[in-house]
């Protein structure tokens, strides 16, 4: 079974280096394996602890291991959005980066975080909110289709094998 009917240009929109590996590896492997062109737009180099250059290098290595070509990866360098767990990014600047990337690479599909940002990180949430704002406010005729990585219920996320019992008692369509 394939995810998309025809070959697509797919953008994985993340906030920091390591997001692609921690959260998106399974979908990246599936989409790459189906012959789609996968691109990564990473909105910071993850310099919160002063390790930005190292994290950027690790992002490139992880993407290479996942089958993403180096020329399909962009790490944004913009002082207005830094790796800050308590700082919302200005939508207009993030939207500008997204729009430029989408146009340059003729992106058909964007994969990003949902409105809860998986871990609740404000930068992850900003990626989702910026995509929503872009689609609602822009006058473009055509947008990429957007898919989000759904945040799991906290009980399921951290309960290990007991999560199976929880899912049996409360099937997903009920919560």
pTM for the complete prediction? 0.87
pLDDT surpasses 90 at 96: yes
Cβ neighbors of 152 (< 8 A, separation 6 or more) are none
Q: Where are the domains of the chain?
A: 9-174
Q: Which CATH superfamily is domain 9-174 in?
A: LmbE-like (3.40.50.10320)
Per-residue pLDDT band for 79 (boundaries 50, 70, 90) equals confident
pLDDT score recorded for residue 172: 57
Comparing 75-84, 109-118, 139-148, which segment has the lowest mean pLDDT?
Answer: 75-84
Which tops the pLDDT comparison, 44 or 85? 44
> What is the tens place of the pLDDT at every residue in 3-19?
777 889 999 999 999 99
Report pLDDT digits (tens) over 15-36: 999 999 999 999 999 999 999 9
């Amino acid at each position: 079974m394939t995810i998309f009917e025809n070959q697509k240009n797919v953008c994985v929109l993340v906030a920091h280096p390591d997001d692609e590996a921690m959260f998106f590896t399974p979908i990246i492997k599936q989409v790459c394996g189906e012959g789609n062109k996968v691109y990564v737009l990473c909105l910071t180099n993850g310099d919160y602890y002063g390790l930005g250059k190292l994290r950027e290098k690790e992002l490139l290595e992880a993407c290479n291991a996942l089958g993403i070509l180096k020329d399909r990866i962009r790490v944004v360098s913009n002082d207005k959005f830094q790796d800050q767990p308590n700082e919302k990014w200005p939508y207009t600047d993030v939207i500008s980066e997204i729009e430029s990337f989408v146009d340059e690479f003729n992106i058909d599909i964007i994969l990003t975080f949902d409105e809860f940002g998986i871990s609740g990180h404000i930068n992850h949430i900003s990626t989702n909110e910026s995509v929503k704002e872009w689609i609602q406010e822009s006058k473009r005729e055509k947008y990429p289709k957007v898919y989000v990585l759904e945040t799991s219920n906290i009980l399921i996320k951290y309960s290990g094998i007991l999560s199976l019992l929880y899912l049996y008692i409360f099937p997903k369509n009920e919560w």
